[in-house]
Chains A and B, each alone.
Chain A
Amino acid sequence: MYETTYHKAGNVAEAASLLAAAEDGQLLAGGQTLIPTMKARLAAPSDLVDISGASDMRGITVNVSAVTIGAMMTHAEVAANADLFAICPALSNLAARIGDPAVRNRGTLGGSLANNDPAADYPAAMLSLDATVVTNTREIAADAFFTGLFETALAEGEIITGVSFTAPGKAAYQKFPNPASRYAMCGVFVSVGPSGPRVAVTGAGADGVFRATEIETALQAKLDPHAIDKVSLDAKAMLSDLHGDGAYRANLVKVMTKRAVAALD
């Protein structure tokens, strides 16, 4: 069992060097997953690097349709940003429905992406929006970033500093929340950009967030809820757990997709 040392980083570079120096270091962003996980395992990392004071990981900029969001922006801050709401309300609404007010005041975009919980909301948005995840060393396309359950393309010690994407013409997110945790039992983010519809699903896939390519093809032909009536989803590819089986989730994916398409804004 470790004893933990607590550090505070003022910027990304400082965080990176503190992390590099630690035996088993861990970034502390909003702590809404990390702290309960530490409690549940009754173990702790050797070093905690608190990045809440990292000023270069904050802010939201909207330049025509180019959007960047700092990794340390909380869900509440993302939800409340007027510039973002004006150009991509679907993402604002997504952020406004994560967890409860206390979670939204602490949880961060970067933390959510780095953790890649298979039922988290943001990964679906990033994948659908074809976003770029910016780290202290490189830029990673969302399609390459999410690699499996709680797995990402991040290297050891690599830190997400923010994301960037081009706001789509239309987008919508529909989620069926788990009634207890408010994580998605199924969340579908649909966006329609220059290259056509991109549909990303969270909470339902057996391997975590995924792009529903058959649905995209159907929507490419006709952007209408009924366009996906004939799409059949393999229940075996869906998550089956105590909250619902694969068939139930496969049904939810179609229902949520239809509602998202109907709500495109």
Chain B
Amino acid sequence: MSVAKSLPHDAAPLHVTGTARYVDDIPLPANTLHLAFGLSEVAHGEIVSVDLDAVWAAPGVITVLTAADLPHENDVSPAPLPEPMLAVDTVHYVGQPIFLVVATSHLAARKAAKLGRIDIKPLPALFSVDEAMAADSRFEDGPRIYSKGDAAQAISQSPHILEGSIEMGGQEHFYLEGQAAAAMPQEGGDMIVYSSTQHPTEIQHKVAHALGTHMNAVRVETRRMGGGFGGKESQGNALAVSCAVAASITGKPCKMRYDRDDDMIITGKRHDFRIDYRVGFDDEGRISGVEFLQLCRCGWSIDLSLPVADRAMLHADNAYAIPNMRVESHRLKTNTQSATAYRGFGGPQGMLGIERVLDHVAHAIGRDPMEVRRLNYYRDMGDTGPGTGQRFGGKHSPNAEDIGPETTHYGMPVEDFVLHGMTEALVEKSDYFRRKAAVSEWNASHATLKKGIALSPVKFGISFTLTHLNQAGALVHVYQDGSIHMNHGGTEMGQGLFQKVAQVAAARFGVGAEQVKITATDTAKVPNTSATAASSGSDLNGMAVQAACDTIRARLASFVAERAGTDPADVRFEDGAVHVGNQALPFEDVVSDAYLARISLSSTGFYATPKVAWDRIKGEGRPFFYFSYGVAVTEVVVDTLTGENRILRADILHDCGASLNPAIDIGQIEGGYVQGAGWLTTEELIWDSEGRLRTHAPSTYKIPACSDRPDIFNVSLWDGENREKTVYRSKAVGEPPFMLGISAHCALSDAVAACGAGYPDLNAPATAEEVLASIGRARS
């Protein structure tokens, strides 16, 4: 069967020969025009005057548009609240687009865009969460609060109480392919848009509004992105809309791509947070109550900030059954880029908060943080599946109250908790105890270089928390020669979705994956799709494709069964053949016969995730279909004279359920871990006092490079299957491994703690300078 096979990424042969096409590589007519935005240089202010004479006069300029020149809606928001594409009256951050240049070349457009003379009367600007709190500058009326039990009382009655705070920076996506879009005007005002987007349907929706037309007049195609990571969920809207509007006005194809510095200055990033905590616990480190205050810096526009901040709250427990918990979340509006979706979508921030608490508690009582983590884990549910004798509701079943699932602080039972077994296995596999002892020994005998080791778990909720988004469609054709054409609403950004879903299609028909043609995501083929986000790509689209395939398969089965006088239920599709009775008919022959018999060989498929129901205002319900789990052990070394640090070894055990493609899933885990570790170590975003982003190029913003690869990097998959009925019992893998990188931060904290008796209070990112400062805190 073609599932559970480590087949290469579907486009790998194109990638290694340099022939895979991204938006900027698509050949366009020679008369294509190129676009660039003129940007605000002021963080907050009223636009007094806009003088674009020099822009108009610049070589190659065809036209220049301001908000007033847009023919219809000036809105690129993914949320109900509007977000103007071009500033109207007021600017809200340095980098906000004010006008749009349409020119004969990319360079001409960029040069001209620098020539605008915008007179802006500055207004007071808010940059930090403290400034925004003081000014009550926020989205929503007040904070959201999710709680369980009485945290304040539980803490006050605890033998030990600790308070603390951790700051965690944002993160630039740094997808290697920058934002890009192109639009080709069609007859009758229709528009075709090529967009590097995770959300073609939203592009279609926004373009339709901007053109004053209906969605049926706009077709959006996305073959692939050069990386997305959440950064292309909403941030591509402005480019696609610009291209469509300019193409509509000029009647010519239009293309827009951001240069790297524009991309970093204009687009949103991961939300930075400050999380304050208060925790009560006993002598063993068992936590009785936690209170979190989450201050989330959202930037100037709402974008996806509400669900991001919600998800941070929903992951404030991570893997721990905390009987009393209160999470208060403030979504603060500031004069900075509008923070947006980024792999984990708030989950990493919430999770880092509780992992910091666990480390702090362990430090306070002098226990191994790994043991304190295990002590606080949710109840083990690893052995409650069918056949284990521990099913509930049966005559001899145990009481669910004794061994049943514990619930989260938002009331969802944790029915699939497997981290006890996974932790045990990784502790063994990574030789944790011996290495922990070796690290202590090293630290006792070395003054300059200190080592640290830490284990951290991940429990990540899978589903869109906006319940209606948990749906997907697919379109499958079988042609009369037996070849299969597959299409679905998911987009390919390198994560291997297309290959995994093609393997599902091939498995349904019992043919090789090479027989399935993977085609570009196209709003004209599958409508009303959700973003490829929330790790849901394979779960949703795999099931939709399976449904479409099964419809066709059922028709073929009925056809051959009737012909052979057998029951359709006995027909099997395996090894390239259709097995009926004791005959094995080549798949191609059955298809060709079915065509001649006038049987439809095309079908749509649809899937809606079951079980999910969630009230985000009350903070109650089941936002997630299931949880994905992982655990990592990281060892680091720190130079105590400079703060320089390095990951020496990482061991990971991750739960992909029954993996659809182990090679692709392991690739996601490795890449996720490294990106997560990058977020917490070297990736530092710095704004100056005027609100200008100073780190807007790879020469100032440091993502992990090949030389930062851990010397030893062991990744393996947990041998299990999803207890929920997902596609072939697999689990989502896009986001969860990102948070395994938290173990790197915990390990750095452990190394720093070896320098003195104090608690290091290590913030993120733990740059060399921050590590050196925290060494000072540990020593004082």
Contacts and interface: CB of A to CB of B under 8 A. Distances in A.
Interface of A: 1, 40, 42, 176, 178-181, 242-245, 248, 251-252, 255
A255 B698 contact: no
A40 B114 CA distance: 11
A242 B772 contact: no
Interface string B673-691: 0000000001000101000
B114 A248 contact: no
A180 B111 contact: no
Given A181-B700, A248-B769, 16 more contacts: A1-B58, A1-B111, A40-B261, A42-B110, A176-B642, A176-B768, A179-B682, A179-B702, A180-B682, A180-B700, A180-B701, A242-B686, A242-B694, A243-B700, A244-B769, A252-B642
Interface string B685-718: 0101000001100111110000000000000000
A252 B769 CA distance: 10
Contacts of B111: 1, 42
A179 B644 CA distance: 10
Nearest to B772: A248
B698 A176 contact: no
B554 interface: no
A187 to B, nearest CB: 13
Nearest to A248: B769
B12 interface: no
Interface centre among B688, B694, B695, B700 (most CB of A within 10 A): B700
A40 B260 CA distance: 11
B64 to A, nearest CB: 17
B448 to A, nearest CB: 9
Determine the main DSSP class of B at the interface with A: loop
Contact of A255 (B642, B694, B695, B702): B642
B132 to A, nearest CB: 22
Interface string B81-93: 0000000000000
A224 to B, nearest CB: 17
Contacts of A255: 641-642
Contacts of A181: 699-700
A248 B698 CA distance: 22
A248 B775 CA distance: 13
Nearest to A1: B111
Contacts of A243: 700
A180 to B, nearest CB: 4
Nearest to B684: A242
B108 to A, nearest CB: 10
Nearest to A43: B111
A242 B642 contact: no
A251 B699 CA distance: 23
A176 B644 contact: yes
A176 B682 CA distance: 15
A256 B368 CA distance: 35
Which range holds the interface residue count of chain B?
Answer: 20 to 34
Contacts of B686: 242
Contacts of B702: 178-180
B200 to A, nearest CB: 32
Contacts of A245: 769
- Which 4 pairs of residues, A with B, have the shortest CB-CB distance? A180-B702, A181-B699, A242-B686, A179-B702
Nearest to B110: A42
Contacts of B261: 40
A42 B642 contact: no
15 contacts: A1-B111, A42-B114, A176-B768, A178-B702, A180-B701, A180-B702, A242-B686, A242-B694, A244-B768, A244-B769, A248-B772, A251-B641, A251-B772, A255-B641, A255-B642
A256 B282 CA distance: 46
Nearest to B448: A255
Contacts of B688: 242
A80 to B, nearest CB: 20
A173 B682 CA distance: 24
Contacts of A251: 641-642, 772
Contacts of A40: 261
A129 B170 CA distance: 43
A180 B699 contact: yes
A251 B702 CA distance: 22
Contacts of A180: 682, 698-702
A107 to B, nearest CB: 14
Nearest to A177: B644
A104 B695 CA distance: 24
A242 B695 contact: yes
A9 to B, nearest CB: 26
A242 B682 contact: no
A193 to B, nearest CB: 28
A40 B111 CA distance: 10
A42 B686 CA distance: 24
Interface string B109-135: 011001000000000000000000000
Contacts of A178: 702
B244 to A, nearest CB: 26
B601 to A, nearest CB: 52
Nearest to B643: A248
A178 B768 CA distance: 10
A11 B58 CA distance: 37
A176 B111 CA distance: 36
A238 B535 CA distance: 47
Contacts of B698: 180
A40 B261 CA distance: 9
Interface string B272-292: 000000000000000000000
Contacts of A244: 768-769
Nearest to B702: A180
Interface in B623-675: 641-642, 644
Interface in B186-208: none
Interface string B396-416: 000000000000000000000
A242 B698 CA distance: 14
B39 to A, nearest CB: 13
Nearest to A186: B642
Nearest to A179: B702
A40 B262 CA distance: 11
A86 B431 CA distance: 45
A1 B694 CA distance: 26
B258 to A, nearest CB: 14
B768 to A, nearest CB: 8
Contacts of A179: 682, 702, 768
A44 to B, nearest CB: 10
Nearest to B698: A180
B261 to A, nearest CB: 8
A255 B702 CA distance: 23
B114 to A, nearest CB: 6
A181 B698 CA distance: 7
A10 B365 CA distance: 73
A251 B110 CA distance: 42
Contacts of B114: 42
Nearest to B115: A1
Nearest to B706: A100
A251 B641 CA distance: 8
Contacts of A242: 686, 688, 694-695, 700
Nearest to B688: A242
Interface centre among B688, B698, B769 (most CB of A within 10 A): B769
Contacts of B641: 251, 255
A180 B688 CA distance: 19
Nearest to B773: A248
A251 B58 CA distance: 49
Nearest to B59: A1
A176 B768 CA distance: 10
Nearest to B261: A40
A179 B771 CA distance: 14
Contacts of B58: 1
A244 B110 CA distance: 32
Contacts of B700: 180-181, 242-243
A179 B702 CA distance: 6
Interface string B751-780: 000000000000000001100100000000
Contacts of B110: 42
